Amino acid sequence: MAIAALILCCFIFFPLAPIVGIGLAIAVLVRSRRGRNHGTKKAITGIAIGTSGLALVVGLVTSAWWFTTGANIERDSIGAVTSNGTGLVADLQVGDCYNDPKPGSVKHTIGIVDVVPCAQEHRWEIYQLAPIPGTSWPGYGEVEDRTYESCRAAFIRLTADSNDGLSLSTYSFAPTEYEWNAGDHYATCIAGNVFPSTGSISD
């Protein structure tokens, strides 16, 4: 049984095979707890190969989905979104509005959001790409702190002449070390409401 489990787990591009193989491998491990140790190492190897293979297949499928149907945001001559689309938050521009996808969906799993014109109901808007001070990579803790301060200052400026800041929630994304070293020293600043609304924060 252990050999069969190991073989099935190796057929990673036939998703049902590693699933069955992992099940057989677990059965081998259960039997080994009852004093039958034959094939334990093969079972553990099979589980490792099977789970890694399934993760690889899921990654390839989601990547293929993204490249074929993911980034499809249409804009007018000044860059405003003109129709519903999808995209990664990191790829959105200042003034873009969007909604979170349903939890558990493929889009939610890989971080893709539903982009809409701001005239339509939405929950979130990119209100600023705020520059983060510094030249060399400061470390994750420090870059998170600088991101928060940069977005906070931008939000205060944006809402200084209105009461919008009292009803809006905010959060932000900091660049990763790879993005920083590639020249991206900007914080993605996002604001929104508990309930969907229409129009832009800057209106």
pLDDT at 102: 74
pLDDT in tens, 15-63: 565 565 556 556 655 666 655 556 666 656 656 766 766 666 666 555 5
pLDDT in tens, 63-72: 555 555 445 7
Token reading at 184: 């991206």
Give 172's strand partners: 189
Query: What value does the mean pLDDT take over residues 106-115?
Result: 73
**pLDDT greater at residue 33 or residue 186:** 186
**pLDDT greater at residue 167 or residue 106:** 167
pLDDT at 192 over 60: yes
Model confidence band, residue 5 (pLDDT cutoffs 50, 70, 90): very low
Q: CA 16, CA 20: separation in Å to the nearest integer?
A: 6
Pseudo-torsion of CA 91, 93, 98, 104, nearest 10°?
A: 10
Listed range (4-18, 109-123, 128-142, 164-178) with the worst mean pLDDT: 4-18
In the chain, what are the domain boundaries? 2-68, 72-197
Could you tell me what percentage of the chain is helix, strand and coil, using 3-state DSSP and rounding each to the nearest 5?
45, 20, 35
